[in-house]
């Protein structure tokens, strides 16, 4: 029995040691905690953390919301102005991670290797975004706390926004007030 308990404790500690970096997304609707998978998507995680660490996600918005599909953000400030980007990262969609409810993935243009700062969170299972013959959209983490915040986001009315020249824009800004790394104990730094 003691051996079993020691084995179980060792496995739990090993599992937590293998966990990827965690990030807190503080929004005006509540807080999300995301665990990043730097093993499956190292380039995408490094890219995302670069924006986190330089503070440029702070006071940006989720500018696209399609209930039952995705909520997308990170590319525009609260004045709906485009934010500067670093160079695009390579597409890592063949990494074994799928666009399932609560996962976070890189947004991009038609060019598979065009992802920069915009990301989305899946509000449902979106296997069509995984790709197949063509490159899909790179999943690089998952929401591990704050699912109720995603539900609140999904209920925000959307419409056309002339400044963004886009549909599906939340009529009430969903603001990323602060995005920061968390340490192993869950404290922000």
Q: Is residue 138 part of a domain?
A: yes
14 belongs to a structural domain: no
Q: In this predicted structure, what is the pLDDT of residue 163?
A: 77
1 in any annotated domain: no
Is residue 153 in a domain? yes
* 15 within a domain of the structure (yes/no): no
- Tell me what pLDDT residue 67 has: 95
CA nearest to 87, candidates 65, 70, 111, 105: 111
Burial of 177 (0-12, 13-18, 19+ CB in 10 A): middle
Reduced DSSP (H G I as helix, E B as strand, rest coil) percent helix, strand, coil of the chain, to 5? 20, 35, 45
pLDDT of residue 18: 55
Confirm whether 13 is domain-assigned.
Answer: no
SS3 for 7? helix
Beta strand spans in 68-137 (E): 70-77, 103-106, 119-122
- Do the domain assignments include residue 4? no
Domain range for 139 is 21-182
The CATH number that applies at residue 63 is 2.40.100.10
pLDDT of residue 162: 75
State the residue for tokens 């998952």. Answer: 142
Q: For the chain, how many structural domains are there in total?
A: 1
pLDDT at 12: 44
Quote the pLDDT of residue 187. Answer: 73
Which ranges constitute the DSSP H helices of the chain? Answer: 2-18, 42-53, 147-154
Q: Give the pLDDT of residue 56.
A: 96
Decide if 74 is inside a domain: yes
| Other beta carbons less than 10 A from residue 71's beta carbon | 23
Q: What is the pLDDT along the chain (189 residues), one digit of tens a residue?
A: 454 444 444 444 434 445 899 999 999 999 999 999 999 999 999 999 999 999 999 999 999 999 999 999 999 999 999 999 999 999 999 999 999 999 999 999 999 999 999 999 999 999 999 988 889 999 999 999 999 999 999 999 999 877 778 899 999 999 999 999 998 766 776
């Amino acid at each position: 029995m003691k051996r079993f308990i020691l084995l179980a404790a060792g496995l739990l500690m090993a599992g937590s040691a293998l966990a990827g970096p965690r990030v807190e997304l503080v929004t005006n609707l509540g807080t999300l905690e995301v665990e990043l998978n730097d093993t499956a998507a190292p380039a995408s995680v490094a890219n995302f953390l670069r924006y986190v660490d330089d503070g440029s996600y702070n006071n940006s918005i989720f500018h696209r919301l399609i209930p039952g599909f995705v909520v997308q953000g990170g590319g525009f400030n609260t004045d709906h102005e485009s934010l500067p980007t670093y160079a695009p990262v390579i597409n890592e969609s063949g990494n074994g991670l799928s666009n399932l409810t609560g996962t976070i993935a890189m947004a991009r243009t038609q060019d598979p290797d065009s992802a920069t700062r915009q990301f989305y969170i899946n509000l449902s299972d979106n296997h069509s975004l995984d790709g197949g013959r063509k490159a899909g959209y790179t999943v690089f983490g998952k929401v591990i706390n704050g699912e109720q915040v995603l539900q609140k986001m999904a209920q925000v009315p959307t419409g056309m926004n002339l400044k963004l020249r886009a549909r599906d824009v939340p009529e009430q800004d969903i603001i990323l007030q602060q995005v920061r790394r968390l340490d192993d104990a869950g404290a922000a730094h």
